[in-house]
Amino acid sequence: MLHTVNKSPFEKDSLAACLRMSKDGCAILLIEDAVYAATDGTAVSDQIKEAMKTKSVYALKPDVDARGMSGKVIDGIELIDYAGFVSLVADQNSTQSWL
Amino acid sequence: MSEIKKFLYVNRKAPYGTIYAWESLEVVLIGAAFDQDVTLAFVDDGVYQIVKGTDTAGIEMKNFSPTYTALGDYDIKKIYVEKESLEKRGLTVDDLLDLKWEDEDEDWAEKDSIHVVSSAELADIMDDADITLSF
C-alpha cells in the first residue's frame, strides 16, 4: 500500500496519523509541504528515521528542490520524479492520501 | 501627508504549498509603496519562505525568492525571524537568503535586514505594531 502525505509536519498532524496507521512494508511518499518531513535535524526527523526501519520512505524531488531542501534530505529517503510517482501508484494495490 | 503607521506582516506558512506566502509578499510591496513603516516577521513554517537555494522549475511555479532580495530597495530592513522556529526545523541563519539594505547615512553601506530573535523579543515587536496583517 502507498500512503501520500502533503502537509508540513509542523502545521498539521497528517504525517503523525500516517505513521501511526500504516503497516510495515508499506510505501510512504512525501509531497508538497510534507517534504519538510524528509529533512534532517528537525523536530520530526527521528520519527521518520524510525519509520524507515520498516517502511519505504520517498520524497518528490521537484517539491524538495522548489523549497530549497535538496541538501538536507535524510540519508536513505529515495527522491523520485513525477514518473516515479506514477510508477509507485501503479505498483501498489491501493493509495491513501493523508491531507 | 497622513501619519506613518507601523505595519507588521506576520508570515507563518510554508511557500508553494499554499498561496499565503506569495500573497503576503505582494501586500508587503504595496504597503512599502505607500511609505509606511514596514516590519516583517517569519515564524513557524513561515521561516521556510526565506530559505535560499530554491529551484521551482520542476513544479512549474514562479520562484518568488528573488523578490525578497528586492525588499531592501523598498526600504524594508526590519525582518525578524523567530529563533525557536528555525531550531525546530534544523535551520540556521546560514540557510536563509542574504537579505541586505543600503544605509544612506553611512555612504550606502550594506547591512543585514534579517535579525534572528527569540519568541519573547517577537512578542514585544508584535505589541509595538499599529497594524498587524497575518498570513
Q: Could you tell me the CATH number of the domain that includes residue A92? A: 3.40.1260.10
Asked if residue B57 is part of any domain, the answer here is yes
Q: Please classify residue B102 by burial: count the beta carbons closer than 10 Å to its beta carbon, then call 0-12 exposed, 13-18 middle and 19+ buried.
A: middle
* C-alpha A23, offset from chain centre: 14
Asked if residue B91 is part of any domain, the answer here is yes
* A6 vs B17: CA distance, rounded Å: 8
Closest by CA to B89, choosing from A5, A55, A3, A68, is A68
- Do A42 and B45 count as a contact with CB atoms less than 8 A apart? no
- Do B45 and A63 count as a contact with CB atoms less than 8 A apart? no
Closest chain B residue by Cα to residue A12:
B45
Q: How high is the pLDDT of residue B34?
A: 86
Confidence grade of residue B1 (pLDDT, cut at 50, 70, 90):
low
- Supply the ipTM of this predicted assembly: 0.92
Asked if residue B1 is part of any domain, the answer here is no
Share of chain A above pLDDT 70, in %: 100
Asked if residue B31 is part of any domain, the answer here is yes
* B119 vs B81: CA distance, rounded Å: 9
- Do B17 and A32 count as a contact with CB atoms less than 8 A apart? yes
Q: What is the pTM of this model?
A: 0.94
Closest chain A residue by Cα to residue B89:
A42
* A43 reaches B (C-beta below 8 A): yes
| Residue range of the domain that includes B50 | 6-134
CATH number at residue B31: 3.40.1260.10
Question: How many structural domains does chain A have?
Answer: 1
| Residue range of the domain that includes A40 | 2-98
Question: How many structural domains does chain B have?
Answer: 1
